[in-house]
Amino acid sequence: MKKRNLSAKKLVKLSAKEFHLYNKFEKKLSKIAKQKKLALAVSGGPDSLALSVLSKVFSAKYKIKLIALLIDHNLRKNSFKEITTVSNELKKFQIKTKILKIKSKITSNLHATARQMRYELMINFCKKNKIKYLLIGHQNDDVIENFYIRLSRGSGLFGLAPIEVIKKYKSIEFIRPLLDFKKKDLSQIASKNFNFILKDPSNSKDLYLRSRIRKLKNQLEREGLNQDRINSTLANLASAKSAIEHFTRVAEKKYLLKNGRKMTINKKLFTNEPYEIRFRVLSNLFLKLSKKDFPPRSKSINRLINLCNGKRISKMTLGGYIFANGHKNVIVFRENRV
């Protein structure tokens, strides 16, 4: 018997408020409307299930092949059964699914290690299947919790600035279209459309920093430090970050010169520009040279700045590159390793 081809409109019934949210969601994804394939990360929680509903409507409208990637973290006895139930729920909406299993046992730093492992699995799947974009269900509560976590660690402006909607990581573009969506709205969409919503028991354990931050956030909201005020602060931080990035690009054009395999840094960078611009120029230089996702540690960048500020001829090796300090320029070239 031939399977009926149901449209997303018939599968998903959106209220007037939900339709408004969908329109906002669609605008965030206008860049990828012509893609043939699209993947989304689904944990089984309300945020990712709401993401699935909105993505299904979007993919049906633009005729995009959609696949949901589910991760079995292998942390609980029933983990595979739970994630299979989520998979079956998604299939009711004709969303294709793929369950990826973490085989290594996580013994320390649970949340950070699990996050790294699942991202690696999803990135590898996307590369193998030639999928450029991966949708992630982070929403506004996550943004604010991340701000408090970074604040507790003494992060600077770039660390405190909000999560970016689009971020490239290992050739895959992570898109977070729900960053200005409230959790309660997403929970309503999820509970309305799904019979099973997965709950992570670790989310309520005080053993984990994010759980403690979540409780602290609720207390601060009762004192008047609500989401709107934090979002206003985050918007200001994002604006300041954008300004620094602009002047960093100006400085890169002004003081960096590529000459074959070598890069020359005009030492006027270190006398004419503020410390933050110097730091960003050197950090970006490492990312471009090494093609890695992260620059060296701040301590190493500071050592390099001190070297470049010096007048004596000296050199320093960092991240596989040699920085030779001359009178007017610093010459950068790859270290020859035997």
Cα–Cα distance measured from residue 81 to residue 59, given in angstroms and rounded to the nearest whole number? 27
What tokens were used for 198?
């997965």
pLDDT by 10s per residue, the chain, length 338 = 444 444 566 667 778 888 899 999 999 999 999 999 999 999 999 999 999 999 999 999 999 999 999 999 877 778 889 999 999 999 988 999 999 998 877 767 777 788 888 999 999 999 999 999 999 999 999 999 999 999 988 888 988 999 899 988 888 999 999 999 999 999 999 999 998 888 776 666 677 788 888 888 888 888 888 889 999 999 999 999 999 999 999 999 999 998 777 889 999 999 999 999 999 999 998 888 877 777 788 888 888 888 887 766 688 888 788 888 888 889 888 887 65
Which structural domains are found in the chain, ordered by start?
8-225 (3.40.50.620), 238-334 (3.30.465.60)
CA-CA-CA-CA torsion for 3, 4, 9, 13, nearest 10 degrees?
-80
Give DSSP secondary structure letters for 197-244: ----GGGG-TTSHHHHHHHHHHHHHHTT--HHHHHHHHHHHHHHHHHH
- Confidence at residue 10, expressed as pLDDT on a 0 to 100 scale: 63
Instruction: From 115, 159, 148, select the one nearest 215 (Cα to Cα).
Output: 148
Cα–Cα distance measured from residue 139 to residue 150, given in angstroms and rounded to the nearest whole number? 17
Q: Do 316 and 322 touch, CB atoms closer than 8 A?
A: yes
- pTM, two decimals, is 0.84
Cα–Cα distance measured from residue 179 to residue 99, given in angstroms and rounded to the nearest whole number? 25
pLDDT digits (tens, 9 = 90+) for 269-320: 999 999 999 999 999 988 888 777 777 888 888 888 888 877 666 888 887 8
